[in-house]
Amino acid sequence: MQAISKLAICIDQLSGRQTMRPFFKNKTFRLDTIDPQSDSMLMQIPPELRLIIYEFVFAPTNTSTPNKLSILAICRRIQGEAIIPALRQMHIHINGDHGLEFQSNLHSLGNLAQHLRHIKITMPMGRLDASSANNPFVLTDLPLDCLQIDFGSVCPKGWLIENRIYHQLISALLHRTFPTGSNDSAKPVHRTWKERYVRQYIAQTLILWAKSTHLHHKLFGMKTKKVLVMCNADAKDLLWSAFTHFGLVSSSLTIVRKAAEDPTRRYVIFWDEGGRSVLEMG
């Protein structure tokens, strides 16, 4: 059964879907599967005090404990209590040089993935693909405090490659379909073969499809509080140029309101920092 579960996770990871999820969803970590361990001295401490201990151990300012995660290996009960403070304090770095493989890990975490708060991804722009699971922007569906995406050096040679990079970036950012009616719901484009084909087609033909309304829908639909996108700057700021290419923004600071009667606001801002181009959304 374990082999079948691993195979199901691999299939979903490669396809970017959750078709095989029924085969492994019961294997994810759940607190209700842990037996009480009343003999443990730590477990005899009131739960409120144990929570304070966990928060102290995993605090970013606590540099005196290099192997903080070792507390999770004491026993399953302590792991069940400490895993949430640990996930909230962790700063996870994912290297996507050879493609992103975080989908299977998120599946394994199950609902615990909702407690992640800080994720940084480094990957080349050439690996970015909205029509597959190789898209870091899907992590904006998690309630992160900050998602940081670093594309490193981006040096397109020629007009055609530069324009395709614009389409790669914007298509990955706006990775959900835009609802056309009040009863429609936005869905990730990599979940259906039709949407994958449409995105691949418009990327190859360089059709100007994205609009400012798509960006607004993304800003108000994402659960992540702040998204930072960075790349090495050149004579032409590719991040800024990609947005202006589609007419998504008109100034380096764009603030939008959800509705006239709704004061909720979102923002998009561009700037340079240490020779790097930076895009922030929140």
pLDDT digits (tens, 9 = 90+) for 64-95: 555 666 666 666 677 777 778 888 888 888 88
User: To the nearest whole percent, how much of the chain has pLDDT over 90?
Assistant: 18
pTM of the predicted model as reported, rounded to 2 decimal places: 0.76
* Strand arrangement of the beta sheet that strand 146-153 belongs to: 91-95, 118-122, 146-153, 227-232, 276-281, 262-273, 253-259
pLDDT at residue 156 in the model: 78
Bigger pLDDT: 193 or 62? 193
Is residue 180 scored above 70 in pLDDT?
Answer: no
Is residue 175 scored above 90 in pLDDT?
Answer: no
Burial of 67 from C-beta contacts in 10 A (0-12 / 13-18 / 19+): exposed
In the chain, % helix, strand, coil (3-state, to 5) comes to: 45, 20, 35
Q: How confident is the model over 133-144, as a mean pLDDT?
A: 88
Note whether 120 and 91 are within 8 A (CB). yes
Q: How confident is the model over 267-273, as a mean pLDDT?
A: 92
Tell which residue, 195, 62, 88, 67, has the closest CA to residue 143.
88
Tell which residue, 123, 119, 108, 102, has the closest CA to residue 13.
102
pLDDT at residue 269 in the model: 95
pLDDT at residue 64 in the model: 57
What average pLDDT does the chain have?
A: 77
Q: How confident is the model over 179-205, as a mean pLDDT?
A: 63
Is residue 236 scored above 80 in pLDDT?
Answer: no
pLDDT at residue 71 in the model: 67
pLDDT band for 1, please (50, 70, 90 cuts): very low
pLDDT at residue 119 in the model: 92
Residue located via tokens 């140029």: 241
Burial of 16 from C-beta contacts in 10 A (0-12 / 13-18 / 19+): buried
pLDDT band for 148, please (50, 70, 90 cuts): very high
Is residue 149 scored above 50 in pLDDT?
Answer: yes
Spatial separation of the C-alpha atoms in residues 271 and 282, rounded to whole Å: 15
Task: Report pLDDT digits (tens) over 99-129.
Answer: 776 766 677 777 888 989 999 999 998 888 8
Is residue 281 scored above 90 in pLDDT?
Answer: yes
pLDDT at residue 66 in the model: 57
Bigger pLDDT: 212 or 189? 212
Classify strands 262-273 and 253-259 as parallel, antiparallel or unpaired: antiparallel
pLDDT at residue 244 in the model: 92
Of 50-54, 58-62, 72-76, the range with the highest mean pLDDT is: 50-54
Is residue 227 scored above 90 in pLDDT?
Answer: yes
pLDDT at residue 133 in the model: 72
Sorted by sequence, the CB contacts under 8 Å of residue 86 that are 6+ apart come out as: 54, 58, 68, 69, 72
pLDDT at residue 243 in the model: 92
